[in-house]
């Protein structure tokens, strides 16, 4: 059986008419860059996250960058984050002129290990960005406590965690700011590029609104040097439609994860994703860990099962960050996980038959690879 990693066509099919109507409305209104459709979505998304404000921007990278800039992060500052993330988290820090300082991840949840945080803080630390990786919130209480005691703002990278909760609070609404990507494959995805920052702080929201629009609060009066980072109207209208489906989609993802857990549990060749006791993951990605990962990935691909790797190289080992001087061995958990992560197909429309097929083939691959792995030792 062929199983795609992601099936956006199946995702959009049932709401196609609503999407077409929403797009037509924007075309009729001619409100393409910012405007009323963006303002409407911002209101809806802020309410969904339990935040006072949302600022729609061009993508998740913009969201992180504007949040950092609006908090005053700049040259000679340090910002703490994790090496197990998409490159964009570190890029946003670097584009402020600041330096990313990495803290290793917890081996069970794959999010920032709060036990290592205090040691990484210096007088230059101007922000901390925990990443809610794969749809699971970082262990926020100790992170907020350590940061709060030093008045360091926490920016949540919630780009993979739309609707995830930690102790009943929604991802994005726990720190000073929460950054989201609406890249098409995300749990809440646009039909193109889009992003948003949510915050409780009206002043911070205002600064980000100015930054995303060339540094102007009033047309042609530029108080700051900003950028063009506006959300476009068509994406906002589409996101308003798709936001209504988000909870149902997330529930489906959670039930698929449960089925994968049941089918793969008990096999010592595969490490399943663990949920923190205070967290409700929305499984943007269902990543298991296996030895001989690349071989397993290839064998599954030959059987028609498309998997992914998120991410094969931790950020500190990327060529672009060689100048930080953090070589192999600097963040052992992140490095080990990067060599073992295997993301299985995960999307709301996945069928039980497909999940059974993926689990069966994965277990077959692992049992076939077992003697080889023993020989290799
Ligand atoms: C953890 C994380 N941070 C940031 C981003 C950047 O978002 P975008 O691709 O919308 O710029 C992504 C997107 O893949 C992400 O997964």
Question: For residue 377, how many other CB atoms are within 10 A of its CB?
Answer: 4
Please state, in angstroms and rounded to a whole number, the distance separating the CA atoms of residues 134 and 85: 9
Ligand 1 mutation target, pool 86, 131, 194, most atoms within 8 A of CB: 86
| Atom in ligand 1 nearest the alpha carbon of residue 195 | 10
State how beta strands 155-157 and 78-81 pair: unpaired
* Side-chain half-sphere exposure of 18, counting CA atoms within 13 A: 14
Q: What's the gap in Å between 360 CA and the centre of ligand 1?
A: 31
Cβ(195) to ligand 1 under 6 A? yes
Cβ(59) to ligand 1 under 6 A? yes
Cβ(235) to ligand 1 under 6 A? no
Phi then psi for residue 299, to 5 deg, are -60, -40
Residue 173, pLDDT score: 98
Residue 376, pLDDT score: 38
Burial (CB count within 10 angstroms: exposed 0-12, middle 13-18, buried 19+), residue 219: exposed
Cβ(131) to ligand 1 under 6 A? yes
Residue 373, pLDDT score: 44
Q: Terminal CA-to-CA distance of the chain, rounded, Å? A: 33
Cβ(88) to ligand 1 under 6 A? yes
Q: At what angle do helices 16-29 and 36-49 cross, to 10 degrees?
A: 130
pLDDT digits (tens, 9 = 90+) for 85-109: 999 999 999 999 999 999 999 999 9
Cβ(183) to ligand 1 under 6 A? yes
Ligand 1 mutation target, pool 159, 162, 229, most atoms within 8 A of CB: 159
pLDDT digits (tens, 9 = 90+) for 29-40: 999 999 999 999
Residue 276, pLDDT score: 82
Stretches in the chain below the pLDDT threshold 70: 370-377
Read off the tokens for 255: 């039930």
């Amino acid at each position: 059986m062929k199983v795609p990693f992601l099936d956006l066509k199946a995702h959009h099919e049932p709401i196609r008419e609503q999407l077409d109507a929403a797009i037509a409305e924007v075309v009729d209104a001619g409100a393409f860059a910012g405007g009323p459709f963006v303002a409407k979505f911002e209101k809806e998304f802020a309410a969904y996250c339990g935040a006072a404000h949302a600022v729609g921007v061009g993508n998740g990278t913009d969201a992180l960058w504007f949040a950092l800039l609006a908090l005053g992060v700049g040259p000679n500052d340090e910002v703490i984050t994790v090496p197990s993330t998409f490159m964009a988290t570190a890029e946003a820090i670097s584009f402020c002129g600041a330096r990313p300082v990495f803290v290793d991840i917890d081996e069970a949840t794959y999010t920032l290990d709060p036990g290592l945080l205090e040691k990484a803080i210096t007088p230059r630390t101007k922000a901390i960005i925990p990443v809610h990786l794969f749809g699971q919130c970082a262990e926020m209480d100790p992170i907020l406590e350590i940061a709060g005691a030093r008045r360091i703002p926490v920016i949540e990278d919630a780009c993979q965690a739309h609707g995830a909760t930690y102790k009943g609070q929604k991802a994005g609404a726990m720190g000073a700011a929460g950054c989201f990507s609406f890249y098409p494959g995300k749990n809440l995805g646009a039909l193109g590029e889009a992003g948003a920052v949510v915050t409780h702080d009206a002043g911070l929201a205002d600064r980000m609104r100015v930054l995303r629009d060339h540094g102007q609060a009033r047309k042609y009066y530029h108080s700051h040097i900003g950028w063009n980072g506006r959300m476009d109207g068509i994406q906002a209208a589409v996101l308003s439609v798709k936001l209504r489906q988000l909870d149902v989609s997330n529930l489906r993802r959670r039930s698929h994860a449960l089925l994968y857990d049941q089918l793969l549990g008990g096999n010592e060749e595969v490490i399943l994703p663990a949920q923190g006791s205070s967290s409700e993951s929305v499984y943007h990605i269902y990543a298991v860990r296996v030895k001989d990962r690349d071989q397993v990935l290839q064998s599954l691909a030959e059987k028609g099962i498309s998997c992914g790797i998120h991410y094969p190289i931790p950020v500190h080992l990327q060529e672009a960050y060689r100048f930080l001087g953090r070589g192999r061995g600097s963040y052992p958990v992140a490095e080990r996980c990067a060599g073992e992560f295997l993301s299985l197909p995960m999307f709301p429309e996945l069928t039980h038959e497909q999940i059974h097929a993926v689990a069966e083939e994965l277990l077959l691959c692992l049992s076939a690879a077992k003697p080889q792995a023993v020989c290799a030792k």
